[in-house]
Structure 1
Amino acid sequence: MKGILILLTMIFINTTLQAQTFKEWFRQKKTQKKYLIEQIAQLKIYLELTEKGYKIAKQGLTAIGDLKRGEFKLHKNYVDSLKIVNPKIANLPKIKWIGAYNGDVRNICSTCLSKNGLTEYLSGDELAYLRAVFDRLDSDCDKIMRTLEEVTIDGNLAMTDDERIRRIEALYQQTLFNLTFSKAFCNESAVLAAARMKEKGDVITGRALRGIN
Structure 2
Amino acid sequence: MAEQIAAYQVYLGAIRKGYNIAEKGLNTANDLKNGTFSLHDAYLTSLEQVSPAVKRDPKGRAIDSLYRQACSLFANEKQWQEKSQMLTASERRYFDKVSGSLLDKAKLDIDELVQVLTPGKLQLTDAERLSRLDKIYERVKDKYAFAGHFTAKCRKLALQRQAYKKDKAKMKELYGIQ
- The C-alpha deviation readout for 1:155-175, integer Å capped at 9, x for no partner, is 222211111111111111122
Q: CA RMSD in A?
A: 2.9
**Which of 133, 151, 158 pairs up with 1:168?**
133
TM-score with structure 1 length normalisation?
Answer: 0.68
Supply the distance in 1 between the matched residues of 2:15 and 2:138 (Cα, whole angstroms): 68
In 2 relative to 1, CA 61–126 (structure 1 residues): closer, same or farther, beyond 3 Å? Answer: farther
Secondary structure in structure 1 of the residue aligned to 2:172: helix
1:156 aligns with 2:156: no
Per-residue deviation, 1:46: 8.7
CA contact (8 A) 1:118 1:193 kept: no
2:55 aligned residue (82, 90, 101): 90
- Equivalent in 181, 187, 191 of residue 146 of structure 2: 181
Match in the other structure for 1:146: 111
Post-superposition offset of 1:98: 1.6
Q: Which has the larger radius of gyration?
A: 1
**Relative to structure 1, is the Cα distance of residues 201 and 117 closer, same or farther in structure 2, using a 3 angstrom cutoff?**
farther
Aligned residues: 178
Which moves more between the two structures, 57-66 or 192-201?
A: 57-66
**SS in structure 2 of the partner of residue 85 of structure 1:** coil
Q: Which residue of 2 aligns with 1:130?
A: 95
C-alpha distance in 2, partners of 1:57/1:75? Answer: 27
Which whole-Å CA distance do the structure 2 matches of 1:196 and 1:96 have between them? 39
Q: State the alpha-carbon separation in 1 of the partners of residues 48 and 12 from structure 2.
A: 53
Equivalent residue number for residue 169 of structure 2: 204
Output the CA distance in 1 between the equivalents of 2:64 and 2:142.
14
Q: Say whether residues 1:100 and 2:80 are aligned partners.
A: no
Structure 1 position 125, deviation (Å)? 2.1
Alignment TM-score, normalising by the size of structure 2: 0.79
Q: Which runs of 5+ in 1 are unaligned?
A: 1-36
Give, in angstroms, the shift of residue 211 of structure 1: 2.3
> Which residue of the partner structure matches residue 73 of structure 1?
38
Runs (5+) with no aligned partner, structure 2: none
How many Å apart are 1:185 and its aligned residue? 0.5
